[in-house]
Structure 1
Amino acid sequence: MKFYKMMFSLTLTTSILITISSISWVTAWAGLEMNLLSILPMMKNFKNKFSSEATIKYFITQTIASTMMIFSILFFSNMKMFSFHSETPMMYLILSSLLLKMGAAPLHFWLPEVISGLSWNLTMTVLTIQKMAPMILTSYTTIANNLTMMTILTSATISGIIGMNQTCLRKIMTYSSINNIGWMLSALMMSNSLWLMYFLTYTLITLSITVPFNLNKMMFIPQLTKLSNNKMSLLIMMMNFLSLGGLPPFTGFMPKWITIYMLSTKAMFYLTITLILATLTTLFMYLRLMLPMAMMHMNKSMKLKTTTISKKMTTLNMISLLGMPFFMMTIQLF
């Protein structure tokens, strides 16, 4: 890894720690700005002609969200008897800025366009690590409100519908991330520990999928035929997609199952039913990805780096696919 990437990766991690451990909203805002300045140089890639456009779009969107956030913070500082757990227009504004930063629907318009111009490594970073700080800051507000409910329903429903029409793998993973944002916000309403479990599970499964894509330079659905020569890699990739969709008995099913149970105990039946139905459209999107892998066999299929994947990914895949016993041991925490 180049020195400047190591340096900015360190500042990126530090900014997240500053944000989630801050005791004031001004410090949290400063941490988010430090986070933005850390990731922008990493996005610029002279070999990719679309990286400049993606960097500018990301910068403009995050700047708008930061402006909304600091405006709300300054407005709140002039109010003597104010609680961040009260539902006021300015509270909705600061919540909207956090939802815009994480790319939750209907404020997701920037995320697919930015991701389509990034490498797989940065795609993984934006879809996972970059959501951590806004999510934790969201938990400091009144999360169980009408705006959050609308965001959860919108993120869960439109992601699968729009994702079915995509051929770019990075955009498909983006809409998958938007769908999981709805689930993570639902988990965050119930318990911070439940959100953490869901976030770690989603990150692990997404990593298991994006690393083979990165190693074999897969960008579009037809390129998935690279996996047709190796049955083990093909099977693992298909199982990872099913796990990401929340199909039992894979690991991705457990966080969704616990979230559904917790929502049911709070009598949020309409939200629960909507999330379950929206998951079906997302599963259909993943099945559409699996068809080229399972049924298309080219006469001269391109060579897959199976040795590299088997050495680096076997343990990670086993954890991401066979983590059910671990969740069964920790389910009593919720």
Structure 2
Amino acid sequence: MYFFSEEERKYLLKKLIPSTRERGIAEDLRGWNWHCSELSPPHDILMPVWEVSDRYCETGRDTYLRHVQKVSVPASEEMVAGRIYHQAMAELYPTAKRLIYKEGMSICAELPGILMERLDDAIVEANEQLSQTKFSPSAEAGQSVSDNLRKLWSFEVSRIVSSIFAYLAKYKYLSDDSLINHALPFVVEHKLDGKYLGLSRNLSADAINMGGMLICDLKTGQKRDFHRLSATGYALVYESLYEVPINIGCTVYLSFPKNHPTPHIERDFFIISDEVRQWFIEERDSKQDLIFYERDPGRCPNPGSCRYREFCF
């Protein structure tokens, strides 16, 4: 999911990256200025990036219910499925890297078979997670997740192997480390400490493309404008820790069309501009204020399928 097509690379190189140079980013909104700008959190409250960037509840009352009223609700079926797909990718990429580091490049010819052998274990683990949830998923839902996981795993194995073979064919003399950094230039579930920005000290960015310093965030639902806040939050944290500019984010949308042999992947590339940075900080401040002052923001006018609906209506 984190391999970009040739068209996407051209779009990044010819459009987005030059645009970031022309527009620039205000220094006050760079993560490394957390100590002397509006980036400094208003309260001593640490929140996960997902909670700050979550705008499914328009008023933020879900945050109030969680933190002030101490309401706990089980994860939805969609949330558990999304978590399973995230975990699969967090396992697959490091497994491929470990095999090459341990066995050397000679293992590459056998890599497709070895990685596919791990699929059955991933499916068993996924079914265990589904069985342990409180909402008691149907057998049909469990089979759907297993089928989707099989499609996703097979697709990503093919992408991993294709990338590795492409670089092996291009370079005659290539070290194991160089091969991995060329063919798999991203770190999945990259741990970050968000304490400087009033965020959790145990954050996990879905993927960071180390070649282009680009943050990727995986979503499994319908496209929403506030989804860009997630990658923005991780970019601010990365800047606060390493003082390296992160100018571009990418929201990766994963879906599984019926009767389609592979997953469908759509990527939303965007500049992490002053506006979206400001939006993230405003959301953080608003939700921290809500928790600190124990202020009930009122019910959301359009609850939809909100998990907290029964506590509001």
Task: Determine if the TM-score, normalized by the shorter chain, exceeds 0.5.
Answer: no
Compute the TM-score of the two structures, normalised by the length of structure 2: 0.31
Compute the TM-score of the two structures, normalised by the length of structure 1: 0.30
Task: Flag the structure with more relative contact order, 1 or 2, with Cα contacts below 8 A and sequence separation at least 6.
Answer: 2
Higher strand residue share: 2
